[in-house]
Structure 1
Amino acid sequence: MNTNIHKIIRFSVAAVLIAALSLGGGILGSRITQNNTPTETVFQDSVQPASVTTLPSGDSDAVARAFQEKFRDIAATTLPEVVEVNVTSTVTQPAFSSPFDFFFGKPGGKPQEREYQQRGLGSGVIVAKKGDTVYVLTNNHVAGEADKIDVVLSDKRNFTAELVGADSMMDLALISFTAKEDIPVAVLGDSDSLAEGDWVFAVGNPLGFQSTITAGIVSATYRDAQPGSGMSGITSYIQTDAAINQGNSGGALVNLDGEVIGINTWIASQNGGNIGLGFAIPINDAKRAIMDFIDTGSVSYSWLGVQTGEPDTSLAADLGIEQKDGAFIYSVYSNSPAAKAGLRPGDVVTRIGDSEIADSNALVRNVASLPVGKSTDFTVLRDGNSVELSVKTEKREENSGSDVSALWPGINIAPLTDDIRNQLSLKKKDEGIVIAAIAPDSIAGGSGLQQGDLVISINSEKVENARDFYRGLNAPSDEIQFRILRSGRELTIGFTKPEL
């Protein structure tokens, strides 16, 4: 049974199910709210939460009514703070003059293309008001590509909105409209304070049913995007069983204090409907994006310039890191911030600033949230020793990391196990490290090295394990020579080592 990842914007043309694209960092322990001065957007420290209804003991009816009153209070507070977002987008599709063209094609060329207007519906959260300008946070896949945006408040007031900024990486967008009258502004809570089992409420417009609120719990916190899901790894997600459906995209996930602690973004489902697997971007990850959108119209992320991942059990054991947390560095881009700072292939990043790095997902999220152009202390484990480095990140551009020819070495390795030995028809006396994968256009990939090669020495130094491999790879040298075993023959392949 396949579980699919679905955006939760509702299209009026048809029920279209598309894989969603969704970084983190922000102003921890703060909230965005409206001051008594209506001309300013005010960011103030968190205050004590509103008083929680005390649940009497020994009287089940009174307990139930206390819950009911609390839920009513939350609904009354949050429903006016969440809006319906109606969008119109232009899409281009092939136009066929007859059914025969569709099935058999049209002689002499490609089919003509026509532009169509596609309408969609999502949700948004009113996060700030500055003068007469009201700001609404929603998903990029709701409003990021829209030609026309209309906002409908819970009291049916309708406003024409415009796009302030959009970010496909975290799947967030900020839109704005003008209103002289009072507009309720949501209070943004602290998503880091959430725990599994906490009550939460999803507020939005599922399937066009305006101003809907559903209840559930936090099923998991800091949920990473699954590999191949199409979801961004630069933010984690809050998982909830509160009912979320198409049209909820961009709506609020709120806590018992009526504070927004997440932006509902996607669901996992076999059929596109709710099965209790909803996911929201933590509001702490969105806070910096809101400020960046208002200040500059875009969100800036830091770029490090490495390829990272989780080594399998055999490689981790060969490196002596099987019992250690951290993000393993497979390759480094030459002339990148990582290379300039001294990060090397085979390093394990264990800390960035004050944050411990548990795995590669944590590395991606923490790097992205670093202030661009500022130096940050990194702690790495290298050949069994702890090393401190100062890393000055750069702004992540659209093409950052796209130049595979700058990737060093562009090789993934594997220890020589009995299974691999049999697959490669190696003898018992053969020892070394196997090239498990190689990027064809990388520095090493262009040298003639191939997947399945057994590396037996680097610059005449014997390679018996993964530590030997990275020690030889990172040794000071202008040139590097691999002595390999391929199909029973020993070969020497040399190439110029890049300046990192």
Structure 2
Amino acid sequence: MQKRTWAQMIVSGVLAGVVGFVLAFVTLSGLETPESSGVTQAQRTSGGSSAVLASHDELPVSVSAGGDLMDAYQTAFRRVADQTIPVVVEVNVVNIVRQRRPSSPFEFFFGTPRDGSQEQEYRRPGLGSGVIVRRSGNDVFVLTNNHVAGEAEEIQITLADGRQFEAELVGGDARRDLALLKFQSSEDVPIARLGDSDALRVGDWAFAVGNPLGFSSTVTAGIVSAIGRNPGPESGMPMLTDYIQTDAAINRGNSGGALVNLKGEVIGINTWIASQTGGNIGLGFAIPVNVAKRVVDDFIRDGRVTYGWLGISTGDAGSQLRSGMDLGTSEGAFVYNVFRGSPAEEGGILPGDFITRINGEQVSDSNSLVRMVADLQPNAESRFSIIRDGDEMELSLQTAIREDEAEVARRSSRMWPGLAVTPITDQIREELGLDRNVGSVIVGNVVQDGPAATAGVRAGDIINRVNNRNIESLADFYRALNDASSDEIMFRIRRGEQNILVGLVR
């Protein structure tokens, strides 16, 4: 037997590994031939009656043992594109912007308005994408982002085949950044198949379809990078939805377009990107299609989206709060304040309660609570599971209709007690230079114009007593605060070197 060189041995090993990987992948993946699997195509409608040409669960992937795996991927990707490009449209809008025109060179250079200045209208064009989601008679409905078309004066829809239609706004909602458009046609128009975004898993294939920078019918591929993303209040993005994160390329003009899965089903509406340059860096975010489905129904029925409102301010349960309130779990939302006259107050929710479930569904954190309450049907009975003073209990109440965010903010003066307190940790003691015996609970936040602020409570105040009860823990504070035996609440507060009394009326 001849000796093999190291190079020959390495090449043989690599080839064996590649062949083994391909065979193992084909075997474990259960990839099917065209003869053994169904063909999935988008729904098409004609004259208002819908007819599904073919609609099966699985997208076929053709590969035989020893076949070309990359060809199988290519075949699958082509079929995704064939199904989804026709149902994604280009949305061209014109917004009318009104600005005051300088009446003189003096005003132009120095900015001092003079008599005779006039307001002038400017036409500002915009571009986005949309998804054809429904048809009723000759009315065809297109879902897009509110920031694309919610304020538009003129809207034009261009289909992938070049047909153009004038459209109108059915309804727009800034709180979830979704809008529904409508155009009329008696011709055949493809309708998107909507998937189940709750079934997504990290690592699933994802395709972004839209019109980035005006390049119509663009398809990019990636994966689902994360699910349940919360952008945070500092991002300026709507908070009444979570987001699907993907690395499929998304750029300006993709807004309102489709994020689809390997079956060709729409699983999200592409909405925003995180970027320091304004271009794609692999951090794209889409509104889950299950959120969008309900919005479509509300728009068609009422022309607006209604959200449930409970009337509380909440936060997450950190380790110190869990320990101080004997919670034992971090999954839930801690109630800091309750709006007076709100469904929460009428239903018996108190400051210091920890909400863990709504109608049996787990509340993971304060953001999920806000979204879950928003999805509740106003005036319908709902069950809230809570932990109060270490005991589990259940309350039944009805939510109200959530007003716009400006109105909710104006009601902040009605929050009881209008403050948030936190245990004094060793870190807080060190940072503020506090003695060991100074107290156990400190005011972390005071709501502007709320009862506590009006009474003179300040952030940084240390609460030593409530109605002559010593406060040695967070649980002590909320037990005393929620004692219904008196309408008057008296705080003994340590502020600097001074001890003061502050009174509130419940």
Change (3 A) 1:104 1:49: same
Instruction: Find out whether 1:491 has 2:500 as its counterpart.
Output: yes
8 Å contact kept, 1:333–1:401? no
> Cα RMSD between the aligned structures?
2.3
Change (3 A) 1:424 1:242: closer
Change (3 A) 1:91 1:453: same
1:414-429 counterparts in 2 under 5 A? 414-422=422-430, 424-429=432-437
Deviation at 1:136, TM superposition (A): 0.4
Letter in 2 for 1:68: Q
More helix per residue? 2
Q: Residue 447 of structure 1 aligns with which residue? A: 455
C-alpha distance after superposition, 1:120-165 (max 9, x if no partner): 0100100011111100000101110000100000110010001111
Letter in 1 for 2:348: G
8 Å contact kept, 1:313–1:322? no
C-alpha distance after superposition, 1:196-234 (max 9, x if no partner): 111111111100011111111100111112230011221
Q: Residue 26 of structure 1 aligns with which residue? A: none
Name stretches of at least 5 consecutive residues in structure 1 with no aligned partner.
1-32
Q: 1:75 aligns with which of 77, 81, 88?
A: 81
Change (3 A) 1:77 1:379: same
Q: Residue 467 of structure 1 aligns with which residue? A: 475
Instruction: Find out whether 1:410 has 2:418 as its counterpart.
Output: yes
Aligned length: 461
Deviation at 1:272, TM superposition (A): 0.9
Q: 2:299 aligns with which of 293, 296, 312?
A: 293
Instruction: Find out whether 1:247 has 2:253 as its counterpart.
Output: yes
1:177-326 counterparts in 2 under 5 A? 177-321=183-327, 323-326=329-332
Deviation at 1:377, TM superposition (A): 0.5
Q: Secondary structure at the match of 1:116?
A: strand
Letter in 2 for 1:485: R
Letter in 2 for 1:263: I
> What is the TM-score normalised by the length of structure 2?
0.86
Q: Secondary structure at the match of 1:400?
A: helix
Instruction: Find out whether 1:479 has 2:479 as its counterpart.
Output: no
Q: Residue 24 of structure 2 aligns with which residue? A: none
Q: 1: CA distance between counterparts of 2:268 and 2:140? A: 19
Q: Residue 39 of structure 1 aligns with which residue? A: 48
Q: 2:353 aligns with which of 342, 347, 357?
A: 347
Of structures 1 and 2, the one scoring higher in RCO (CA 8 A, sep 6+) is 1
Deviation at 1:331, TM superposition (A): 0.7
8 Å contact kept, 2:212–2:218? yes
Q: 1: CA distance between counterparts of 2:394 and 2:338? A: 17
8 Å contact kept, 2:103–2:114? no
Q: Residue 145 of structure 2 aligns with which residue? A: 139
8 Å contact kept, 1:254–1:262? yes
8 Å contact kept, 1:424–1:452? no
Instruction: Find out whether 1:157 has 2:159 as its counterpart.
Output: no
C-alpha distance after superposition, 1:10-68 (max 9, x if no partner): xxxxxxxxxxxxxxxxxxxxxxx8687853679x9xx7513431444444xx1111111
Change (3 A) 1:390 1:105: same
8 Å contact kept, 1:139–1:171? yes
**Which structure's CA Rg is the greater one?**
2
Deviation at 1:111, TM superposition (A): 6.7
Q: 1: CA distance between counterparts of 2:432 and 2:174? A: 43
Q: Secondary structure at the match of 2:234?
A: coil
Q: Secondary structure at the match of 2:248?
A: coil
Q: 2: CA distance between counterparts of 1:37 and 1:295? A: 23
Name stretches of at least 5 consecutive residues in structure 2 with no aligned partner.
1-41
Letter in 2 for 1:292: D
Q: 1: CA distance between counterparts of 2:251 and 2:319? A: 39
8 Å contact kept, 1:303–1:400? no
Q: Secondary structure at the match of 2:410?
A: coil
Deviation at 1:371, TM superposition (A): 1.0
Q: 2: CA distance between counterparts of 1:130 and 1:193? A: 28
Q: 2: CA distance between counterparts of 1:39 and 1:444? A: 59
Deviation at 1:421, TM superposition (A): 3.4
Q: Secondary structure at the match of 1:83?
A: strand
Q: 2: CA distance between counterparts of 1:416 and 1:109? A: 60
Q: 2: CA distance between counterparts of 1:412 and 1:238? A: 32
8 Å contact kept, 1:124–1:137? yes
8 Å contact kept, 1:238–1:279? yes
Q: 1: CA distance between counterparts of 2:78 and 2:351? A: 56
